[in-house]
């Protein structure tokens, strides 16, 4: 990683403070296990597999939080070139437009600029992962029945950040020398969601050709 890039990533230019796992918790140990396998240079396809004896919900919860932190950071590094003027629509090229919908202000799918969409998305994910009723942190507290459904929705929406960054801002990523970092993060994300069938194939369409080159 170049010095310039290190400075950018070290600035933590995210919208949000990173969600951290509490040391001593089972989730923290799993997080460390996941990081160790990545740092050991293990094949990403192997690194995403559920470790023997571990609970799938725990494994997914750890990765959802990690991907949120990392994708948030990636978007933060290009956010100065993603404005209401440059990106008046949250899209992935001419064929794909993403509209925002939530339970509060936007009850119907609404066209928004990319930065507005991203801000609402990061806010919404942060609320989900900090909700003890959905992402319990205490060992022994069971996950709710809706957990996987919420995790899938978060991951599908995070995938849209990759789509927007790759299609509209990859020149900025390249300019900063960050493409290897972003590509690795993307491959890790792609292998994870496909290993556990966490994202609809239709969602993956916009980056299909790039993914075929990069991940197969």
Listing DSSP states for 44-100 in one string gives HHHHTSPPTT--HHHHHHHHHHHHHHHHHHHHHHHGGG--TTT-SS-BSSTT-B--B
Do 183 and 214 meet the contact criterion of CB atoms below 8 Å apart? yes
Helices 114-129 and 56-78 cross at an angle (nearest 10°) of 150
Do 82 and 168 meet the contact criterion of CB atoms below 8 Å apart? yes
Closest CA to 199 of 168, 173, 165, 163: 163
Residue 181 annotated as lining a ligand binding site: no
Helices 179-195 and 208-215 cross at an angle (nearest 10°) of 90
Look up residue 141 and give its two tokens: 């507290």
Residue 169 annotated as lining a ligand binding site: yes
Cβ-Cβ contacts under 8 Å for 143 (sequence gap 6 or more): 57, 61, 136
Residue 52 annotated as lining a ligand binding site: no
Residue 201 annotated as lining a ligand binding site: no
* Three-state DSSP state, 156: helix
Summarize the annotated binding site as residue ranges.
Answer: 82, 87, 164, 169
Summarize the annotated binding site for Zn(2+) as residue ranges.
Answer: 82, 87, 164, 169
């Amino acid at each position: 990683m170049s010095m310039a890039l290190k400075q950018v990533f070290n600035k933590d230019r995210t919208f949000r403070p990173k969600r951290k796992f509490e040391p001593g918790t089972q989730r923290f140990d799993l997080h460390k296990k996941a990081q160790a396998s990545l740092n050991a240079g293990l094949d990403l396809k192997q690194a995403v597999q559920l470790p023997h004896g571990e609970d799938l919900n725990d494994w997914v919860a750890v990765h959802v939080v990690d991907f949120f932190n990392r994708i948030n950071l990636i978007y933060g590094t290009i956010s100065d070139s993603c404005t209401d003027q440059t990106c008046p629509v949250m899209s992935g090229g001419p064929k794909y437009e993403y509209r925002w919908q939530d339970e509060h202000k936007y009850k119907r799918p609404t066209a928004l600029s990319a930065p507005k969409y991203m801000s609402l998305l990061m806010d919404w994910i942060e609320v989900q992962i900090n909700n003890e009723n959905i992402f319990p942190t205490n060992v022994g507290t069971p996950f709710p029945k809706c957990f996987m459904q919420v995790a899938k929705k978060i991951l599908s929406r995070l995938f849209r950040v990759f789509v927007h960054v790759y299609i509209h801002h990859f020149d900025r990523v390249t300019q900063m020398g960050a493409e290897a970092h972003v590509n690795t993060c993307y491959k890790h994300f792609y292998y994870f969601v496909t290993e556990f069938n966490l994202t609809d194939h239709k969602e993956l369409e916009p980056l299909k050709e790039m993914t075929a080159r990069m991940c197969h």
